């Protein structure tokens, strides 16, 4: 569990777990958490979109069996993301070598998506990235 928490809260190397993440830059870091700037790029056929996002992230462990990573979007004129929150909960599993990771996220953005299938593509991209994370985190 602690290993997975350390991997997910290592923001300098977080790009290894998300194929859409092009760049992650720590803007500031102090006892109150991290401010992270991320650049994402997703492509569908010949249509590619870059998206910049700024987040304030607080990561902590409640005890030896339960850790949390909470992120809140920081609105920025350079970013289409207007608001949002993401929460990762990492808990020890009954199997000592595994852990349960729960992910919850909601965003409000000004993103133009192709009509009819744009939202579906957006959701498929998120699900693809989560499956990539699941497959990749076990390798570390």
pLDDT tens-digit profile of 27-54?
999 988 999 999 998 776 777 778 899 9
Tell me the C-alpha distance between 96 and 104, whole Å: 24
Across the range 104-108, mean pLDDT stands at: 89
Check residue 115 and give its pLDDT. Answer: 65
Tell me the C-alpha distance between 19 and 40, whole Å: 9
Angle subtended at Cα 23 by Cα 103 and Cα 126, rounded to the nearest 5 degrees: 30
Q: Answer for the pair 54, 33: CB distance below 8 angstroms, yes or no.
A: no
The pairing of strands 81-92 and 99-109 is antiparallel
pTM of the predicted protein model: 0.85
Check residue 116 and give its pLDDT. Answer: 61
Check residue 38 and give its pLDDT. Answer: 95
Tell me the C-alpha distance between 109 and 12, whole Å: 25
Structural domain boundaries, residue 98: 2-137
Q: Which has more pLDDT, 123 or 104?
A: 104
CATH number at residue 126: 3.30.530.20
Per-residue confidence band for 118, with pLDDT thresholds at 50, 70 and 90: low
Total structural domains in the chain?
Answer: 1
Mean pLDDT of the chain: 87
């Amino acid at each position: 569990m602690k290993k997975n928490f350390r991997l997910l809260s290592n923001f300098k190397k977080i790009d290894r777990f998300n194929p859409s993440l092009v760049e992650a830059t720590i803007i500031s870091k102090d006892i109150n958490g991290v401010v992270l700037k991320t650049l994402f790029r997703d492509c569908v056929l010949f249509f590619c979109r870059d998206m910049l996002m700024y987040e304030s992230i607080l990561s902590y462990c409640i005890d030896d069996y339960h850790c949390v990573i909470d992120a809140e979007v920081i609105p920025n004129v350079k970013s289409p993301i207007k608001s949002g929150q993401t929460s990762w909960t990492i808990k020890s599993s009954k199997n000592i070598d595994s852990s349960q990771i729960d992910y919850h996220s909601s965003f409000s953005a000004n993103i133009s998506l192709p009509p009819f299938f744009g939202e579906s593509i957006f959701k498929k991209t998120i699900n693809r990235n989560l499956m990539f994370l699941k497959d990749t985190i076990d390798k570390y």
